[in-house]
Amino acid sequence: MSNLLSLLPLPLQEGGIPVADDPVIIAFGAAYLLIVVLIGAWGWSRTNSTSDFLITGKSIGTWVLALTAFSVIQSGFGFVGGPELVYEFGNTALWIFFTAPLGFLLTWIVLAKRMRLMADIRNVLTLPDAMYARYESDAVRGLTGVAVIVGVIAYLATNLAALQFVMRAIFGIPVIWGLLGGALILLLYSMLGGMIAGVWTDFLQAITMIAGAGLVFAYAISFGGGMSNISQNLATADPNLIAPFGAMGGATTAVLVAVAWWILFSVGAAGQPHLITKFYMSRDMKILKWGAPIAAISYAISSLIAFSAGLSMRAMVEAGEVSETFAASEVGPVFVLEYTPSVVAGLILAALLAAIMSTSDSFLNIGAAAVSRDIPRAFGKPITDDRTELRVTQAALAGLTILSTGVVYYSDALVGILGTIGWGFFAAAFVPVVVFGLNWKGATKEGAIAALVAGLVINVLYSAAPMAAEVAGYEGLASGIMATYPYPDVFPVGTVALLVATVLFVGVSLVTQDGSELPSDLHALLER
């Protein structure tokens, strides 16, 4: 195997990631991996049907639901991609982390009761199931399934990209082996436990992240000499870093980017299938009441890691107190390993391992369900035996894991940028068809199809295609594609796709309304 790898280009290198040689940190990491595997085995023992595997049989309560919802959104993107974006672009990235909590409030208001009621009215296990029930269209079901798969590959790549750095930091293995070994462990864990394992691992790591975020924030601010000293060092190097809109693309462009990210990450939360399908799992609708503030506050607290570690490390590098021997993607692991006590570092890195595993499990489950359940049904070829459907779902996990691992292996995109691409895929595809569709009786299947196609095409054309062209060595093609993009390259494609898809959804729905009635059992759902 090593001889084969030596023949391949290895874009993943060790870089400046320090390696933990502290037995406390290694013990924390090993213990968490063991716990994750044991939870997976426990989940296997409780998984007897596709319903158990995908939505835990509607069995979770308020705190578990809220903390699970927050943790699947934060995950490796928040702990590795977050400090990376703050380090690179200053306050621009904070328009993600300090506005995303609004997304939880919005999502709960417009979707929580409706999604949970949908699970009672119809036998829905996936988002495409719900969209078929709403629009009674196989085309909508199939396009929703395709959008899920595409978004899952992009977002799963984000978490695997973070995982390779964490495995390197804890266990000292080369980054390439951290990626491949971590992906294998993730695959086994996901095939064993399904969503039952994911939910309880989410809950465990959510509590750990909240506690760890407070500790990291205190150490990071102290390390930087206080906010006043951090601000002064950053302002001396580049005043845009601490300007209200940050430094991504320069002063003028940063305003557009910050506002675009605000739209994408506050409104776009309601289009994240790994979040909104969690509402299927609640024991009943009464427990949904306090979920939004719990999830929003938890996310805000955990975001202190990105804010404090990113700004503090950049300030100390600019002041000459720290040598920049690391890449931006490595800022989080570097700070935690080198500038916090062993117990804190072990706690944070172990929680990050759990976060990546459980969040990736959620992505794999919804993606595999699209392969085994949603797309076959859209073509009129459903798998009728439940046990067979469960096994096909588990088998589909392997293909998605391999594809996402390949994206990470051959891409040099920042973890944070990969995260925004994945989020943008989901937001553009699902905010119009889900949020409007479950709140507006006038929504039509033609509007849903137009929105899904537009969201997919814009994101694939301007996010996936240029990246694939560059990997294949066709830089000219990538540049040619982006030359037709009407905004600065740093302006998030997901926001453009979201706005275009929303306008098309509303416009086409208005034009194609024919006075037909909703299915009778969905009237109560849209009137709540």
The domain limits of the chain are 63-527
Determine the distance from the C-alpha atom of residue 196 to the mean position of all C-alpha atoms in its chain, rounded to a whole number.
Answer: 19
In this predicted model, what pLDDT tens digit does every residue of 135-179 receive, in sequence order? 999 999 999 999 998 888 877 877 787 788 778 778 877 778 888
Residues 352, 332: Cα–Cα separation, whole Å: 11
Tokens matching residue 250: 């320069």
Contact 190, 397 (CB under 8 A): yes
Among the listed residues 6, 363, 329, 5, the one whose alpha carbon sits nearest the alpha carbon of residue 169: 329
Contacts of 286 (CB under 8 A, 6+ apart): none
CB atoms within 10 A of CB 484: 8
pLDDT for 433 equals: 95
> Which range, of 11-15, 58-62, 306-310, 490-494, averages the lowest pLDDT?
11-15
Tokens matching residue 454: 């537009």
Residues 366, 276: Cα–Cα separation, whole Å: 11
CB atoms within 10 A of CB 177: 17
Burial class of residue 270, CB neighbours in 10 A (0-12, 13-18, 19+):
buried
Residues 227, 325: Cα–Cα separation, whole Å: 24
In this predicted model, what pLDDT tens digit does every residue of 261-308 receive, in sequence order? 889 888 988 998 888 888 887 776 776 778 888 888 888 888 888 888
Determine the distance from the C-alpha atom of residue 142 to the mean position of all C-alpha atoms in its chain, rounded to a whole number.
Answer: 22
Residues 166, 277: Cα–Cα separation, whole Å: 28
DSSP H or E stretch at residue 47 = none
Report the range out of 27-36, 149-158, 422-431 with the highest average pLDDT: 422-431
Average the pLDDT over 58-71 and give the result: 75
Residues 314, 91: Cα–Cα separation, whole Å: 12
Residues 367, 139: Cα–Cα separation, whole Å: 18
Residues 356, 71: Cα–Cα separation, whole Å: 10
Contacts of 13 (CB under 8 A, 6+ apart): 175
Residues 409, 424: Cα–Cα separation, whole Å: 21
Considering only residues 229 and 244, tell me which one the structure prediction assigns the higher pLDDT. 229
pLDDT for 507 equals: 96
Contact 220, 335 (CB under 8 A): yes
CATH of domain 63-527: 1.20.1730.10
Whole-number mean pLDDT of the chain? Answer: 81
Percent over 90 (pLDDT), the chain: 18
Among the listed residues 74, 166, 188, 204, the one whose alpha carbon sits nearest the alpha carbon of residue 353: 166
381 φ, ψ (degrees, to nearest 5): -125, 60
Burial class of residue 467, CB neighbours in 10 A (0-12, 13-18, 19+):
buried
Q: How far is CA 267 from CA 101, 222, 270, 397, 496, in A?
A: 10, 34, 6, 29, 13
Q: What is the DSSP letter of 281?
A: G
> Which range, of 148-162, 257-271, 353-367, 499-513, averages the lowest pLDDT?
353-367
Beta bridge partners of 60: 282
Among the listed residues 164, 39, 120, the one whose alpha carbon sits nearest the alpha carbon of residue 528: 120
Q: Decide: helix, strand or coil at residue 60.
A: strand
N-to-C CA span, the chain: 58
Contact 427, 107 (CB under 8 A): no
Where do we find the tokens 């994945």? 422
Is the pLDDT at 461 greater than 60? The verdict is yes
